Amino acid sequence: MIKIENVSKSFEDIKAVDDISVEIGEKIVFGLLGTNGAGKSTLLRMIAGILKPDAGNISVEDMGVFDNEEAKKNMFFISDSPYFFANSNPIDMMKYLAIQYPQFDEGKFKEYLKTFDLSEKRKIGTYSKGMKRQLALLLGICSNAKYLLCDESFDGLDPVMRQGVKSIFAREMDERGLTPVIASHNLRELEDICDHVGLLHKGGVLLSKDLEDMKLNIQRVQCVFKSEDEEKKLLQMVDLVKEEKMGSLCTYTLRGTRGDIENAFDSVSTVFYETLPLSLEEIFISETEVVGYDIKKLILG
């Protein structure tokens, strides 16, 4: 587990991270969401032990990370612009990282290169941006580090490659307990891959929640009531987050389980009602509006 306790970091007069406390559990995909300048990269670099917090504490597997070689073996950091040695090819990088990570799986790495159609001998400098990101992810996965810290690493990956990496994550999580932590400014980029999302804003954590819990506890229902009295009766029984109307057609965003919401609608007279799926963006809009923020202004997907 990664524990971040009251961590702050400033660069001269700029407060990059402001009193952040959050826990990242094991065998989940944790999404770190925020606009440029929200503190995502700084936080990841502190988790990786590259930067030292000005205040607070970060521990991985109950070990402090800064200046702790043993703790750092548990983590592999991929920056938003992955670095590779000049004139190197994938095998050169593999051999170097195998020194840093004695548990590096060279056989698996070569198999993944074939799967993703990345040549072993081709100079990395001739790779496209997306290919470089694929290679960095494969090196991180095959390092066998428990925590894979990815800073905007999915930017530039096409949908097919994203699904390929997602399937590898699932396999590695099941087989050896891999925990990917993915920072992104793009909400839609995280929607189909993350289990838990933390939203950063101006250096602080606005919210940190399990996506499945969020999806289970907020519903959108479209309906037409038989009378205004039936609508009033329904609204007294539910926790209304948002209401939209178009003539007699009502669309509600409601907090509660699907079963509880449907029981409430079954107890009043409607012409019809149906429960509609909510996207991650719609869920986040609802969650952040409750605490006084408009995510549409914070996160531009």
Distances in Å between the Cα of 253 and the Cα atoms of 82, 244, 283, 286 are 41, 9, 9, 8
Rounded to whole angstroms, the Cα distance separating 177 from 175 reads 6
Band of the pLDDT at 174, cuts 50, 70, 90?
very high
Rounded to whole angstroms, the Cα distance separating 157 from 162 reads 6
Cα torsion angle, 286, 290, 293, 298, sign = negative
Let me know whether 160 and 266 are in one domain: no
Q: Final residue of a domain: which of 172, 193, 210?
A: 210
Strand, coil or helix: 32: strand
Residue type (1 letter), 241 = V
Q: Final residue of a domain: which of 210, 229, 249?
A: 210
Let me know whether 27 and 163 are in one domain: yes
The pLDDT, as a whole number, for residue 10 is 94
Residues 74/60, Cβ–Cβ less than 8 Å:
yes
Let me know whether 126 and 204 are in one domain: yes
Average pLDDT over residues 124-128: 94
More confident residue, 194 or 172: 172
Could you tell me which of 225, 221, 239, 214 has the C-alpha nearest to residue 276?
Answer: 221
Residues 224/270, Cβ–Cβ less than 8 Å:
yes
Identify the H or E element spanning 82: none
Strand, coil or helix: 127: coil
Let me know whether 66 and 136 are in one domain: yes
Could you tell me which of 217, 287, 212, 211 has the C-alpha nearest to residue 258?
Answer: 217
The pLDDT, as a whole number, for residue 287 is 67
Let me know whether 15 and 151 are in one domain: yes
Point out the least confidently predicted range of 44-53, 119-128, 207-216, 217-226.
207-216
Let me know whether 152 and 288 are in one domain: no
Cα torsion angle, 184, 210, 206, 64, sign = negative
The pLDDT, as a whole number, for residue 198 is 87
* Interval 5-26: pLDDT, tens: 999 999 988 889 999 999 999 9
Band of the pLDDT at 248, cuts 50, 70, 90?
very high
Query: Is residue 87 predicted with pLDDT exceeding 60?
Result: yes
Residues 72/59, Cβ–Cβ less than 8 Å:
no
Let me know whether 35 and 129 are in one domain: yes
Point out the least confidently predicted range of 99-103, 153-157, 171-175.
153-157
* Interval 273-300: pLDDT, tens: 999 988 777 777 776 665 555 555 555 4
Q: Final residue of a domain: which of 141, 176, 210?
A: 210
Residue type (1 letter), 17 = V
Let me know whether 98 and 39 are in one domain: yes
Average pLDDT over residues 128-154: 93
* Interval 178-237: pLDDT, tens: 999 999 877 777 777 888 988 887 777 777 888 888 778 889 999 999 999 999 999 999
Identify the H or E element spanning 283: helix 280-290
CATH number at residue 244: 3.30.70
User: Residues near 188 by Cβ (< 8 Å), separated by ≥ 6?
Assistant: 280, 281, 301
Let me know whether 44 and 191 are in one domain: yes
CATH number at residue 11: 3.40.50.300
Could you tell me which of 292, 300, 286, 277 has the C-alpha nearest to residue 36?
Answer: 300
The number of distinct structural domains making up the chain is 2
Let me know whether 184 and 252 are in one domain: no
Rounded to whole angstroms, the Cα distance separating 184 from 280 reads 14
Band of the pLDDT at 301, cuts 50, 70, 90?
very low
Please give the residue range of the domain that contains residue 188. Answer: 2-210
Let me know whether 61 and 120 are in one domain: yes
Rounded to whole angstroms, the Cα distance separating 37 from 244 reads 34
Let me know whether 263 and 123 are in one domain: no
- Cβ of 175: how many Cβ atoms within 10 Å? 8
